[in-house]
């Protein structure tokens, strides 16, 4: 069975500082991994995805994530936080075994001026 | 591309009535559609998966007679909450995967806020 753990339900960073949101997964088969962002009262927007190609994945708005199989991690980073990055971020795992997403519990990012 | 819409975006209904929520893929054919429920400050919980022309597959604990899902075409799926009660109040989000698209990738609608009074 798959599972996703997002460490830190709330993360605060100063504007211009590095953003690091943590995601660890568990899967018995090779996973596909996704990061989504959700703004209040909106659906989810895809930031980036890992689908077994390059382990360092670049997404929209300067976000990137690195798939580390040995650490079963897929942490999301951004070099410099912007006020508009304040939102809820979800990590999700998908496998061909179940054909459905398992979402993490989410991390709320707050950007301080 | 890959836009999913939901209608209505916000609905209030009285306890005991039924509410229908539509999910449409606007610019692609959706072989599979998914319905999620999200409580405030919580993650998304998958309710059911539907393939066009087939009966929906419900997740454990989801009442299929209460949450009726119809996926009549490759661009439209509907979720009907029957005999709604206040505990059904939630944010409902649909998503769709595209025929020939990246395996595993889903496109999400903007969500529907349901309030049952």
Reference A9, options A111, A106, A112; nearest CA is A106
* Average pLDDT score over chain A: 93
A14/B contact by beta carbon, under 8 A: no
Confidence (pLDDT) at A5: 94
Taking residue A86's Cβ as centre, other Cβ atoms within 10 Å add up to 17
Taking residue A50's Cβ as centre, other Cβ atoms within 10 Å add up to 20
Smallest Cβ–Cβ distance between A41 and the set B32, B107, B111 belongs to B111
pLDDT in tens, A35-49: 999 998 888 999 999
Greater confidence (A97 vs B106) lies with B106
What share of chain B has pLDDT > 90, as a percent? 71
Q: Which residue of A has its CA nearest to B94?
A: A43
Confidence (pLDDT) at A66: 95
**Phi-psi label, residue A99: left if phi above 0, alpha if psi -120 to 50, beta otherwise:** left
Q: In this complex, do B4 and A42 lie within 8 Å of one another by their Cβ atoms?
A: no
- Which tokens sit at B116? 């049952």
Confidence (pLDDT) at B87: 95
Q: Tell me if A50 sits within 8 A of A33, measured CB to CB.
A: yes
Chain B interface disruption, residue of A27, A36, A43, A46, most B CBs within 10 A: A43
The helix/strand/coil state of B58 is: strand
Q: In this complex, do B103 and A105 lie within 8 Å of one another by their Cβ atoms?
A: no
pLDDT in tens, B2-31: 899 999 999 999 999 999 999 999 999 988
pLDDT in tens, A72-105: 999 999 999 999 999 999 999 988 777 889 999 9
H/E stretch holding B22: strand B19-25
> For residues B34 and B48, what is the distance between their CA atoms, to the nearest angstrom?
6
Q: In this complex, do A41 and B106 lie within 8 Å of one another by their Cβ atoms?
A: no
> Average pLDDT of B28-50?
91
Cα→Cα distances A80→A38, A109, B53, Å: 19, 13, 47
Q: Tell me if B7 sits within 8 A of B20, measured CB to CB.
A: no
> For residues B25 and B21, what is the distance between their CA atoms, to the nearest angstrom?
14
Q: How sure is the predictor about B99, in pLDDT bands with cuts at 50, 70 and 90?
A: confident
Which of A25-29, B39-43, B55-59, B101-105 is the least confident region?
Answer: B101-105
A104/B contact by beta carbon, under 8 A: yes
Q: How sure is the predictor about B41, in pLDDT bands with cuts at 50, 70 and 90?
A: confident
């Amino acid at each position: 069975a798959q599972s996703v753990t997002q460490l830190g339900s709330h993360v605060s960073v100063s504007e211009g500082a590095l953003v690091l949101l943590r995601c660890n997964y568990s899967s018995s088969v090779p996973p596909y991994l996704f990061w989504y962002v959700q703004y209040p009262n909106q659906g989810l927007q895809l930031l980036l995805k890992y689908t077994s190609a390059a382990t360092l994945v670049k997404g929209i708005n300067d976000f990137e994530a690195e798939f580390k199989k040995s650490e079963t991690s897929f942490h999301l980073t951004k070099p410099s936080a912007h006020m508009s990055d304040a939102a809820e971020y979800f990590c999700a795992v998908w496998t061909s075994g179940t054909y459905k997403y398992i979402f993490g519990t989410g991390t709320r990012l707050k950007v301080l001026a | 591309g890959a836009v999913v819409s939901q209608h209505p975006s916000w609905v209030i209904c009285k306890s005991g009535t039924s509410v229908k929520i539509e999910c449409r893929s606007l610019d692609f054919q959706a072989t599979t559609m998914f319905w999620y429920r999200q409580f405030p400050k919580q993650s998304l919980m998958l309710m059911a998966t539907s393939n066009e022309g087939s009966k929906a597959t419900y997740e454990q604990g989801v009442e299929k007679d209460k949450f009726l899902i119809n996926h009549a075409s490759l661009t439209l799926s509907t979720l009907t909450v029957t005999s709604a009660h206040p505990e059904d109040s939630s944010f409902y989000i649909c998503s769709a995967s595209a025929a020939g698209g990246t395996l595993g990738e889903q496109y999400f609608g903007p969500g529907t806020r349901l309030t049952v009074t």
